[in-house]
């Protein structure tokens, strides 16, 4: 085939075929082969709007090159056809060599190129951003039962596994380390680990298991107690444990302790709706990693953050032993007995083991709330207030999946496995 004589694009006898030819010339004009393409415009006196938009757009993008842009007369003829002007408009421009006539055309043509299409392009960008903001689904990947599950449709939920605090407590002699999760028996955890870390000093200073975080203990400033060594982390005999509690029950404890007792909940006082909204906004702010300086977790962020935001659980969750605790005495007793079993396996003496269990079961810390009469009212609002429930689901839903909690406290939809997991054969089934 002789490219110089036989190369054609589209049907030159039809308007759309002529459009294809001209677009090709404008687009591939940077190539030396462009001289083989048709150079004529159109037989049709009037072009359709979409044809004009296509031609002007291509010429705008590729018009930076003198070889690929249309000539003045070509642009004039194109503008005339798009504007449905008579042929005399083009003929007058062709006959005239005056600057005024050329400027007249350019001023009209540039309006299309520099303004109309900029507006169209801007509208497209804004429309896309608006769609993403309102409708695009966010996805989270969570490990469930040893497999990855991709979640969509939860764009406004707080994602799991964003580590903001790591309160490690270490007892190297017993190859034990724990994670102190606020509002999950963290004070019992730190007292027990302080005893195991330095029994002599703990007893000498007459510490006991009913002391709160406000009590000064030497272990709290000891780096060996707060920072696990690489040897401990890499030792297969090391036991890692943490107390965890139902996320909504944990929120109730937080609300009663920090809002009702301490009045530390922003300007909300005891307004639970206000509290959940402030918690949500604070956690969302911590997700904005592109800010400079980066947001710093607050006192309330540490207490309200999801369980999975602690101690780098996302990196080695399978290595941890989780002790489930509840609001009543019997469930509390069960979790303490589980801790005793762990301590026994790690070689803790019967004397220390008995001391831990007796003191832990005998009393409650000063900020314990699981017998509070105010708890009943707080639990009622959590069950019945739709605004509070909506925010609690957004904040803590993924904790119910990352950890082995019963989902009976959640709304009906979230008690079911509403997500889908791809099977090997390409079909889907619910978990």
* Residue 68 clears pLDDT 90, i.e. is over it: no
pLDDT at 37: 39
Mean pLDDT of 144-167: 79
Higher pLDDT, 32 or 305: 305
pLDDT digits (tens, 9 = 90+) for 390-429: 999 999 999 999 998 999 989 998 888 776 544 444 444 3
pTM: 0.65
Residue 113 pLDDT greater than 60, yes or no:
no
Whole-angstrom distance, CA of residue 167 vs CA of residue 182: 9
Task: Please provide the DSSP assignment of 277-336 as one string.
Answer: HHHHHHHHHHT-TTSSSPP---HHHHHHS-GGGBTTHHHHGGGEEEEEE-SSHHHHHHHH
DSSP-based three-state secondary structure for 147 = strand
- At 1, the pLDDT band (50, 70, 90 cuts) reads very low
Q: Specify the length of the chain in residues.
A: 431
Please report how the helices 186-197 and 329-345 are oriented relative to each other, as an axis angle in degrees rounded to 10: 30
Average pLDDT over residues 290-300: 82
Over 346-377, what HEC string results? CCCCHHHHHHHHHHHHHCCCCCCCCCCHHHHH
The per-residue pLDDT for range 342-378, each reduced to its tens digit, is 999 999 999 999 999 888 887 654 445 556 789 899 9
Which token pair is 381? 């609002």
- Taking a C-beta distance cutoff of 8 angstroms, is the pair 146, 385 a contact? no
CA gap 352, 282 in Å, rounded: 41
Residues 6+ apart with CB under 8 A from 139: 150, 151, 152
CB of 244 closer than 8 Å to CB of 213: no
Tokens of 264: 């530390």
Decide: helix, strand or coil at residue 416. coil
C-alpha to C-alpha distance for 64 and 46, rounded to whole angstroms: 27
CB-CB contact of 274 with 266 (8 Å): yes
Asked whether 339 and 244 are in contact (CB, 8 A), the reply is no
- Our CA angle for 322, 326, 332, nearest 5°, is 85
Alpha carbon distances (Å) from 12 to 37, 43, 81, 269, 390: 12, 9, 17, 77, 62
Question: What band does 140 get if pLDDT is binned at 50, 70 and 90?
Answer: low
What are 225-279's pLDDT values in tens digits? 999 999 999 999 999 999 999 999 999 999 999 999 999 999 999 999 999 999 9
* Mean pLDDT for the chain overall: 76
Neighbours of 304 (CB within 10 A): 27
Q: What are the extents of the domains in the chain?
A: 3-134, 160-405
pLDDT for the residue 7: 35
Q: Residue 365: which of 240, 169, 183, 179 has the closest Cα?
A: 183
387 and 234 Cβ atoms separated by less than 8 Å: no
Please indicate whether residue 355 or residue 330 has the higher confidence score (pLDDT).
Answer: 355
Q: Is 324 exposed, middle or buried (0-12, 13-18, 19+ CB in 10 A)?
A: middle
Assigned token pair, 397: 């839903």
pLDDT for the residue numbered 65: 41
Q: How confident is the model at residue 32 (pLDDT cuts 50, 70, 90)?
A: very low
Sign of CA dihedral 203, 204, 210, 212: negative
Helices 247-254 and 373-384 pack at an angle, to 10 degrees, of 130
37/26 Cα distance (integer angstroms) = 10
């Amino acid at each position: 085939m002789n490219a110089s004589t036989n190369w054609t694009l589209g049907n030159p006898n039809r308007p759309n075929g002529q459009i294809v030819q001209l677009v090709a010339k404008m687009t591939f004009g940077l190539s030396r082969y462009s001289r083989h393409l048709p150079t004529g415009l159109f037989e049709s006196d009037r072009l359709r709007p979409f044809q004009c938009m296509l031609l002007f757009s291509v010429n705008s993008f590729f018009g930076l090159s003198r070889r690929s842009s249309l000539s003045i007369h070509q642009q004039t003829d194109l503008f005339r056809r798009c504007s449905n002007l008579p042929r005399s408009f083009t003929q007058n421009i062709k006959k005239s060599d005056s600057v005024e006539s050329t400027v007249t055309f350019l001023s009209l043509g540039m309006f299309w190129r520099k303004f109309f299409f900029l507006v169209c392009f801007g509208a497209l960008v804004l429309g896309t951003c608006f769609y993403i903001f309102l409708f695009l689904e966010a996805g989270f990947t969570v490990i469930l039962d040893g497999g990855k599950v991709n979640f969509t449709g939860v764009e406004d939920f707080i994602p799991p596994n964003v580590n903001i605090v790591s309160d490690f407590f270490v007892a190297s002699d017993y190859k034990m380390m724990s994670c102190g999760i606020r509002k999950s028996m963290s004070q019992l955890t730190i007292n027990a680990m302080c005893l195991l870390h330095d029994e002599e000093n703990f007893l000498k200073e007459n510490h006991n298991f009913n002391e709160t975080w406000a009590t000064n203990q030497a272990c709290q400033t000891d780096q060996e107690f707060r920072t696990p060594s690489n040897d401990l982390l890499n030792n297969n005999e090391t036991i890692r444990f943490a107390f965890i509690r139902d996320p909504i029950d944990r929120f109730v404890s937080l609300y009663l302790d920090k809002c009702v007792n301490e009045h530390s909940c922003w300007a909300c006082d005891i307004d639970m709706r206000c509290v959940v909204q402030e918690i949500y906004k604070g956690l969302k702010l911590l997700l904005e990693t592109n800010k400079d300086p980066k947001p710093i977790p607050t006192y309330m962020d540490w207490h309200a953050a999801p369980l999975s935001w602690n101690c780098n659980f996302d990196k080695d969750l399978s290595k941890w032993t989780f002790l489930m605790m509840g609001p009543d005495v019997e469930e509390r007793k069960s979790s303490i007995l589980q801790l005793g079993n762990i301590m026994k396996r790690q070689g803790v003496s019967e004397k220390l083991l008995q001391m831990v269990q007796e003191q832990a079961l005998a009393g409650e810390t000063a900020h314990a709330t699981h017998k509070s009469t105010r708890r009943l009212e707080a639990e009622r609002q959590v069950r019945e207030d739709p605004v509070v429930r909506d925010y609690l689901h957004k904040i803590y839903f993924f904790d119910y999946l990352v950890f082995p909690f019963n989902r009976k406290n959640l709304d009906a939809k979230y008690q079911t496995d509403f997500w889908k997991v791809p099977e090997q054969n390409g079909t889907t089934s619910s978990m």
